[in-house]
């Protein structure tokens, strides 16, 4: 075999080896990081039922339970007057930046949260104007704020979400 042919085969093998290494790295990186724009990433779409003002609704899809409350101005004012809370400033709580306000919502007319308590991660029960964790004494108001209790627990988790342009769907981003 000529020297030129041997070098050509060596270059081709090196090129194929590097292409294989980059291909494997790309596959692993694709699993680790979602490079797609947020608008087309996986999300959960919930068709919004007829919401009754000041009446919480729990929507479920797969294992995801979402609490939605359409709040009246009267309820919003009552919530703003409550001062005895475990985490009134929501400093220990999880919510998107545009929901870092006393009503913990992007739009004060709607409250959206995961329908799981933060004490033992149990489903929520709707009890008058409070939300109660089904397996503990953790209670929350209709802004998802933890009420005073013997033990410390966080406010309800507010996920990143949006509403469809026509308002018929709630879109929750993982």
- 122 with 148, same domain: the answer is yes
> Tell me: the pLDDT tens digits for 9-35?
889 999 999 999 988 888 887 777 766
Residue 38: predicted pLDDT: 52
- 75 with 11, same domain: the answer is no
Q: How far apart are CA 66 and CA 163, in angstroms?
A: 13
Enclosing H/E stretch for 173 = strand 169-173
Partners of 173 in the β-ladder: 160
Whole-angstrom CA distances from 148 to 131, 134, 154 are: 13, 17, 11
pLDDT bucket at 134, cuts 50 / 70 / 90 = very high
> Tell me: the pLDDT tens digits for 77-125?
999 999 889 888 888 888 888 888 999 999 999 999 999 998 888 999 9
- 122 with 169, same domain: the answer is yes
- 63 with 103, same domain: the answer is yes
For the chain, the domain total comes to: 2
Question: Can you give the pTM of this predicted structure?
Answer: 0.74
Residue 66: predicted pLDDT: 95
Mean of all residue pLDDT scores within the chain: 88
Q: How far apart are CA 147 and CA 56, in angstroms?
A: 17
Q: How far apart are CA 169 and CA 49, in angstroms?
A: 9
- 27 with 85, same domain: the answer is no
Does the pLDDT at position 133 exceed 60?
Answer: yes
- 29 with 92, same domain: the answer is no
- 19 with 63, same domain: the answer is no
pLDDT bucket at 156, cuts 50 / 70 / 90 = very high
Please give the residue range of the domain that contains residue 7.
3-33
- 28 with 74, same domain: the answer is no
Strands 110-114 and 130-133: unpaired
- 15 with 60, same domain: the answer is no
- 26 with 51, same domain: the answer is no
- 27 with 104, same domain: the answer is no
Give the dihedral of Cα atoms 65, 102, 105, 87; nearest 10 deg: -30
Contact by Cβ (8 Å): 173, 41: yes
- 105 with 148, same domain: the answer is yes
Does the pLDDT at position 167 exceed 90?
Answer: no
CATH number of residue 57's parent domain: 2.102.10.10
């Amino acid at each position: 075999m000529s020297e030129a042919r041997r070098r050509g085969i060596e270059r081709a093998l090196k090129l194929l080896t590097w292409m294989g290494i980059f291909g494997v790295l790309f596959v692993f990186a694709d699993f680790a990081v979602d490079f797609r724009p947020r608008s087309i990433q996986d999300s959960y779409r919930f068709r919004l039922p007829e919401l009754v003002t000041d009446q919480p609704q729990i929507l479920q899809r797969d294992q995801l339970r979402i609490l939605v409350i359409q709040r009246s101005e009267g309820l919003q004012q009552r919530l703003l007057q409550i001062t005895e809370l475990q985490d009134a400033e929501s400093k220990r709580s999880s919510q998107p930046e545009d929901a870092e306000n006393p009503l913990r919502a992007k739009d004060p007319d709607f409250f959206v949260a995961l329908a799981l308590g933060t004490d033992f991660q149990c489903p929520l029960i709707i009890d008058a104007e409070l939300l109660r964790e089904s397996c503990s004494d953790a209670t929350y108001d209709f802004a998802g704020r933890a009420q005073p209790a013997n033990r410390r627990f966080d406010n309800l988790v507010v996920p990143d979400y949006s509403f469809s342009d026509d308002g018929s769907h709630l879109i929750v981003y993982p």
